[in-house]
Amino acid sequence: MINLRLTRRETLQMGAVGLAALALPFSLAEEAQAATEPFTLPPLPYATDALEPVIGSQTMQIHHGKHHQGYVNNLNKALEGHPDYASWPLEDLLGKLNELPESLQKGVRNHGGGHHNHSLFWQSMLPPEKAKKTAPDKALTAAIERDFGTLENLQKKFQAAGAGLFGSGWVWLAADPSTGYLNIRTTPNQDSLLLCSHDVPLLGNDVWEHAYYLNYQNRRGDYLKAWWDLVNWEKVSERYS
């Protein structure tokens, strides 16, 4: 005689198997969808708590996992109705914004810009103990001395530009690729430097409140000053060359 009465534990186990079986087609569907989506969120190159104490773990989790993921999702959504442009590299979408259908431009400007800016941002930083071992290489040092006098002066100008930017946006160290001259620039919202100039972004800091509010509240200036402890000058030098 078969005992059809199941213990509570067995019921739970069956429930778990049943749920797993149910979940499988959905996760496969999600994977298939992700594979066909033009853009995906790049993983952080370090743990979310690696940039402490300058940027806290909770800020990193929300900033990368929610904000940046949101730009990626919305960029993909904007491209859904424009399959001809879904295979374009992000730099081309941003750099040739005026050539895109008008109905696509806003999505690329805001969310494509957000995706590009944040991707550069994560790569520009290192945990403090690693960042302090990096320095501008010979070519970048020469350019900094020519265009700003000293690195300290560059940092002061960068901080002042970031602090003076009204509302949300980005502050940049940029290079003119034809002359090698360095510039401090700002862009509003999620505008990419690639939209408005031929300057190449070497280093950008995010001055949206979501980037610093949990640690610094309204003290944007303090955030801008502390942030240098995270800058990966090796990466910046590589971009310059």
Q: Name the site residues for Mn ion (rule: CB under 5 A).
A: 206, 208
**Nearest distance from residue 210's CB to Mn ion, in Å?**
5
Q: Using omega within 30 degrees of 0 as the cis cutoff, is the peptide bond preceding 89 cis?
A: no
Q: Minimum distance from CB of 147 to Mn ion (Å)? A: 27
Which residues, 6+ apart, have CB-to-CB distance to 114 below 8 Å? 67, 68, 70, 71, 75, 190
DSSP calls for 127-145: -HHHHTT----HHHHHHHH
Write down the least CB distance from residue 54 to Mn ion, Å: 15
Q: Of 85 and 170, which CB lies nearer to Mn ion in the complex structure?
A: 170
Closest approach, Cβ 186 to Mn ion, in A, equals 15
Minimum distance from residue 131 beta carbon to Mn ion (Å): 19
Using alpha carbons only, what angle is made at residue 142 by residues 139 and 144, rounded to the nearest 5 degrees? Answer: 110
Question: Smaller CB distance to Mn ion: residue 66 or 77?
Answer: 66
Which ranges constitute the DSSP H helices of the chain? 8-36, 57-62, 69-80, 90-95, 102-107, 113-123, 128-131, 138-148, 151-164, 193-196, 213-216, 220-226, 233-240
Q: Are 112 and 100 spatial neighbours (Cβ–Cβ below 8 Å)?
A: no
Q: Say if CB 69 and CB 40 are below 8 A apart.
A: no
Nearer to Mn ion, 44 or 140 (CB): 44
Token pair listed for 169: 């946006």
Closer Cβ to Mn ion, 199 or 206, answer by number: 206
Task: List Cα–Cα distances, 172 to 112, 169, 188, 203, in angstroms.
Answer: 17, 10, 11, 6
Smaller CB distance to Mn ion: residue 191 or 206?
Answer: 206
Nearer to Mn ion among residue 85 and residue 158 (C-beta): 158
Based on CB atoms, which residue is closest to Mn ion, 39 or 208?
208
CA gap 70, 98 in Å, rounded: 24
User: Which pair of structure tokens corresponds to residue 78?
Assistant: 């904007």
- Closest distance of CB 65 from Mn ion, Å: 12
CB of 190 to Mn ion, least distance (A): 8
